[in-house]
Amino acid sequence: MAEVSLLGILSRWVHILAVVIAVGGSFFIRLILLPMAQKSLSAEAHESLRTNLLGRWRIVIHSCIFLLLLTGFYNLWLAMQSDPEPVYHLLFAAKFLLSLMLFAIAILVTAKQGMPTWMQPHARHWMLGLVALGITIILIAGLLHTIPRGI
């Protein structure tokens, strides 16, 4: 069994918490909060809520992205110490590329100057795409932890 370090455990916890906050928050905003606000609020009040929400959410999502990259690279370094099976590399590459795509979309959706005009007509779909990507990445991560490691 591989040696477990306090830093490794802390890194894993921070990584998981950042995922829970980012994906769970996106899920809540897209599938619960904004649809209910659109039904319950006037157009002006809904837009004000959306603008203020995205301003605050930007800080949270950018912090999560930073923590995910930092802890992700450290966790990958730890995983490589145990000489994982070749399929691990394939799944990790898929997870990493999907994560980069998710990060790019999240940054564009929460841009300080507003979502790019080419994204605006389909803003709901982009948010739903973020949620779907997040769930897919979580499922791949679950698979990664089932792969036997050497040493």
Residues 37-73 have pLDDT tens digits of: 989 999 899 889 988 888 899 999 999 999 999 999 9
Query: Which residues contact residue 126 at a Cβ distance below 8 angstroms, ignoring those fewer than 6 apart?
Result: 105, 108, 109, 115, 119
Q: What is the pLDDT of residue 38?
A: 87
pLDDT tens readout for residues 82-124:
878 888 889 999 999 999 999 999 999 988 888 888 988 888 8
Give the closest residue to 21 by CA, choosing from 53, 72, 52, 65. Answer: 65
Is residue 24 situated within a structural domain?
yes
Is residue 81 situated within a structural domain?
yes
Confidence of residue 2 (pLDDT cuts 50, 70, 90): low
Is residue 89 situated within a structural domain?
yes
pLDDT tens readout for residues 8-24:
999 999 999 999 999 99
Is residue 27 situated within a structural domain?
yes
Q: What is the pLDDT of residue 1?
A: 46
pLDDT at 151 over 60: no
Is residue 1 situated within a structural domain?
no
Residue holding tokens 């100057």? 113
Both tokens assigned to 48: 């004000």
Is residue 150 situated within a structural domain?
no
Q: What is the pLDDT of residue 84?
A: 80
pLDDT tens readout for residues 116-141:
889 888 888 999 999 999 999 999 99
Residue 131, phi then psi, degrees to nearest 5: -65, -45
Is residue 151 situated within a structural domain?
no
Full domain range(s) for residue 87:
6-144
- Considering its fold, how many domains does the chain have in total? 1
